[in-house]
Amino acid sequence: MKGKTQSCGCLRREVAGVHLRTHGLSKLPEYKIWKGMKARCFSPNNPRFSDYGGRGIDVCDRWRESFENFYADMGPRPSPGHSIDRIDNDGSYTPENCRWVAVSVQARNRRNNHTIEHNGRRMVLADWAKLKGIDISLLRARLGRLGWSVERALETPVEHK
């Protein structure tokens, strides 16, 4: 032996671990959300790709390159009932266009929502139904199958039998 050995081998593993470890945050739920966001936008094999990357939704360079940047900008999600939401549903994932919201709020920010304008207010069908005390299926029927005007559908009281 030439006396050059500094360790039993554990030093090499420790040094390698430091170099291979990036942020140590991969167990956070926000990390899974970040990975999912990128997969929806960049992986054609992702089942949701056509709704995201396939229609031009992108992730800003700052977030694409670094989970740490994403986490620094978004912070921890307030609760397990919160998910990432794009304020402009046609816009990309950027710090200015994203927020943590409850699932109930996010459900109102979907492309397939039916939005109605009435008396100068614009809301989704579910919010109008709640505001007017009308079951949403009845409101859908009034506007669709029965062909009522928005005014009539929203202002006609519900007859209770």
- Collect all residues with Cβ–Cβ distance below 8 Å to 83 and sequence separation of at least 6: 33, 77, 100, 101, 103, 106
Structure confidence at residue 19 (pLDDT):
47
Structure confidence at residue 156 (pLDDT):
92
Q: How far apart are the first and last CA of the chain?
A: 97
Structure confidence at residue 67 (pLDDT):
96
Prediction pTM value: 0.60
Structure confidence at residue 20 (pLDDT):
46
- Collect all residues with Cβ–Cβ distance below 8 Å to 119 and sequence separation of at least 6: none
Structure confidence at residue 70 (pLDDT):
97
Tens of pLDDT along the chain (161 residues) come to 566 656 676 666 555 554 445 568 888 999 999 999 999 999 999 999 999 999 999 999 999 999 999 999 999 999 999 999 998 889 999 999 999 999 777 766 666 677 888 899 888 888 888 899 999 899 989 999 999 999 999 999 888 76
Structure confidence at residue 105 (pLDDT):
74
Domain spans of the chain?
Answer: 22-106, 115-155
